[in-house]
Amino acid sequence: MSSEGSVVAAAEIAAMLGVSRQRVTQLTAKPDFPAPLTTLTVGKIWSYADVKSWAENGGRTVLPIPAR
């Protein structure tokens, strides 16, 4: 997944950053993490482009998200 118009949830962010979902919870609580677009019944969703930019600006490697 690399479409700039895509959205991601915690599981996809974990895959993008190569971290656990628990670590995603910690990262998304940081004040500099992008705000979620909305909260659905299944949880929060973020803009793929916003999360990718945040990660790259922080010196993190962004991994491809495996297809499901």
- pLDDT, position 8: 97
- pLDDT mean values, one per 10 residues, the chain (68 residues): 77 98 98 98 97 98 89
Predicted confidence at residue 67, as pLDDT, reads 82
Q: Which residues does 39 contact at the CB level (< 8 Å), separation at least 6?
A: 45
| Residue that the structure tokens 């482009």 belong to | 49
Which pLDDT score is estimated for 4? 59
The pLDDT value recorded for residue 18 is 98
Backbone phi, psi, residue 49, to 5°: -60, -40
Number of residues that this document lists for the chain = 68
